[in-house]
Amino acid sequence: MTSASEDTIASRISRILADRIVTGQLDPGTKLRQDHIAEEFGTSHVPVREAFRRLEAQGLAVSEPRRGVRVASFDLKEVREVAQMRAALEVLALRHAAPHLTAAILDQAEEATVAGDNSRDVRSWEEANRRFHTLILTPCGMPRLLAAISDLHAASARFLFASWRSEWEVRTDHDHRAILAFLRQGNIENAAPVLERHVQWIGQKPVRNASGTTRDAFAIVG
Amino acid sequence: MTSASEDTIASRISRILADRIVTGQLDPGTKLRQDHIAEEFGTSHVPVREAFRRLEAQGLAVSEPRRGVRVASFDLKEVREVAQMRAALEVLALRHAAPHLTAAILDQAEEATVAGDNSRDVRSWEEANRRFHTLILTPCGMPRLLAAISDLHAASARFLFASWRSEWEVRTDHDHRAILAFLRQGNIENAAPVLERHVQWIGQKPVRNASGTTRDAFAIVG
DNA sequence: GCCCTTGACGCTTTATCCAAAACCATGCCT
DNA sequence: AGGCATGGTTTTGGATAAAGCGTCAAGGGC
């Protein structure tokens, strides 16, 4: 378990780069130079190119033929787009997962919610939040749907990290608890709309730039 | 326009392979041997591997590390899954596209419907059907959503080609006309549910196998 | 002074080459 | 006769090398 050597170098590179893009270590628009990356990982650039293709498919990078690959940029419009896609697909997944949800699963989801509330930084909050959504949706047993949702989660997380770079305030997640309460009653018809709104909620607040000016930051928080 | 040389060899290979998989020229489970394909296209295996990554992301191929790449298999469960994802996402796209739909676009969509009704084979019907959906959804201006829908269309088409291999009966597409009628009235609230049902409709009919036995074939027809 | 050419450089893209893992068939041993 | 070891063969995955396209800047023509 120590190494990921059971899968290919390309997939390892793709995972690490995806993480860097999502967490904001790589800024939008940054050029990804294949032999620099290859050198960093101690490989040739062939697997790096394959990793690029995967990032491209995930919407984390854009490639212009013969001009190289760059970290995908995004704007408020795309944040909204991803949020709405997530809303549509997560509701679908929840409707199919609901019949298979057990008390044990819901308990785990509650633990994830608590972990989120107790998180001291964005990163651990995001991890807990993702665990919550994954837990209640996975039982739908629709692999393609889950894969699509997972990619959208990565995009959401990217927006989240991009806005809340420094400060982080603790909040308690009432939406998650409401969803859990409905699911415990087997009341999917009420749980679904809450999830739909929850995922689409986009926080917006003024953020002071280094230059002293303020701009509206935004973030998907669901 | 004669050559696709304006983009990379990898993308050309990926397009051609995708087409072969979708149209059923490549059966599910078929192993895709990289240097055979490389030889066929007169290239090396490097761009072929990149094409594999794209096919993988589209769900048309599955790759096991060190064991190669195979054409993805599918079953009725996945057909349903794709249909429901399409329903959810196409409805979302339509809601956003509706305000931007012009009479000219709707006329083109009607032409596509007529072309579909007049199609003599599955291939041209599929092309016309896809044109219809693309026309009424593209104005939503949500590129990521449209890309996702496009991949799902490819999957749908694959199921379609898999079932209707030989025979093909002409039908007139009442759903398309109903949707167009509602859209012409600007009545999106009625158009959306029709589209949602239309996309999820899965044809099912007995098909005689070569062995004389019959099985239930299925196909997404929307 | 401004625009276009031209050449050098870096990067992407593809080809050729190599090692290691997986597959297949044969034959040996039980 | 059947299962397991073992060799060769195929195939994947990666490294290295070479070729081609894009970019940028300096210099010359208008």
Q: Tell me the C-alpha distance between A144 and A96, whole Å.
A: 13
Q: Which residues contact A31 (CB under 8 A, 6 or more apart)?
A: A68, A69, A70
Residue in chain B closest to A93 (alpha carbons) equals B85
User: Which chain A residue lies closest to B49 (C-alpha atoms)?
Assistant: A50
Please give the average per-residue pLDDT across B111-127, as a whole number. 93
Taking CA atoms, A41 is separated from A14, A28, A47, A54, B219, in Å, by 11, 21, 10, 17, 46
| Under 8 Å between Cβ of A54 and B53 | yes
What are residue B203's DSSP bridge partners?
B219
Q: Which residues pair with A215 in a beta bridge?
A: A207
With cut-offs at 50, 70 and 90, classify the pLDDT of residue A170.
low
Q: Which residues contact A77 (CB under 8 A, 6 or more apart)?
A: none
**Cβ contacts (< 8 Å) between B12 and chain A: which residues?**
none
H/E stretch holding A32 reads: strand A31-32
Answer for A185: CB within 7 Å of strand D.
no
Predicted pLDDT at B98: 97
Residues B24-57 pLDDT 10s: 999 999 999 999 999 999 989 998 999 999 999 9
Indicate whether A218 pLDDT > 80: no
Q: Which residue has the higher pLDDT, A219 or A117?
A: A117
Q: What is the pLDDT of residue A2?
A: 31
Share of chain A above pLDDT 70, in %: 86
Quick one: pLDDT at residue A4? 39
Interatomic separation, CA of residue A65 and C1' of nucleotide D29, rounded (Å): 34
Question: What are the beta bridge partners of residue B218?
Answer: B204
Asked if A62 contacts A70 with a C-beta cutoff of 8 angstroms, the reply is yes
**Chain B contacts of A84, Cβ < 8 Å?**
92, 142, 145
Alpha helices in B118-167 (DSSP H): 122-137, 143-163
Mean pLDDT along residues B54-64: 94
Contact of B52 with B34, CB cutoff 8 Å: yes
* Alpha carbons A42 and B23: distance in angstroms, whole number: 41
Decide if B20 contacts B30 (C-beta within 8 A): no
Q: Which residues contact A81 (CB under 8 A, 6 or more apart)?
A: B142, B143, B144, B145
- What residues have CB less than 8 Å from B152, skipping those under 6 apart? B82, B85, B86, B89
Q: Separation of CA B63 and C1' C29 in angstroms?
A: 38
Output the average pLDDT for chain B.
88
Nearest CA in chain A to B64: A7
pLDDT digits (tens, 9 = 90+) for A19-41: 999 999 999 999 999 888 999 99
Q: pLDDT digits over A97-127, tens only?
A: 999 999 999 999 999 999 999 998 889 999 9
**Residue with CA nearest to D16's C1' atom:** A44
Q: At residue A50, does pLDDT exceed 70?
A: yes
Backbone dihedral angles phi then psi of residue A173, each to the nearest 5 degrees: -90, 95
Whether B24 and B163 have beta carbons less than 8 Å apart is answered as: no
pLDDT at residue B120 greater than cutoff 70: yes
Element holding A63 (H helix, E strand): strand A61-64
Closest nt by CA–C1' to B6: D21
Tokens 């998907």 belong to A220
The pLDDT tens digits of the residues spanning B189-219 come to 999 999 999 999 876 655 555 565 565 556 6
d(CA A107, CA A102): 9
Range scoring the smallest mean pLDDT among A18-27, B63-72, B166-175: B166-175
- % of chain B at pLDDT higher than 90: 71
Cα gap A84→A90, rounded to integer Å: 10
Of the candidates A1, A16, A2, the one whose C-alpha atom is nearest the C-alpha of residue A54 is: A16
CA pair distance A109, B169, nearest whole angstrom: 50
Tokens of B72: 């993805």
Nearest-Cα distance to chain B for A163, in Å, is 21
- Are A89 and B85 an interchain contact pair (Cβ–Cβ within 8 Å)? yes
Q: Where are the beta strands (DSSP E) in chain B?
A: 31-32, 61-64, 68-71, 202-208, 214-220
- Run of H or E including A219: strand A214-220
Q: B118 to each of A19, A49, B109, B122, B198, how far by Cα in Å?
A: 50, 44, 14, 11, 19
Please tell me the distance from the alpha carbon of residue A42 to that of residue A19, in angstroms, as a whole number. Answer: 19
Q: Report the pLDDT value the prediction gives residue A53, as an integer from 0 to 100.
A: 93
User: In this structure, are residues B44 and B88 in contact, taking their beta carbons and an 8 Å threshold?
Assistant: no
Q: What average pLDDT does the segment A138-148 reach? A: 97
Put residue A30 in one of left, alpha, beta given phi > 0 → left and psi -120 to 50 → alpha: beta
Cβ(A202)–Cβ(A219) below 8 Å = yes
Q: Which of A170, A184, A42 is nearest to A117 (CA)?
A: A170
Nearest-CA distance A55 → chain B (Å): 10
In 3D, which of A133, A19, A112, A118 has the Cα closest to residue A71?
A: A19
Q: What is the pLDDT of residue A162?
A: 87
Residue B173, min C-alpha distance to chain A (Å): 27
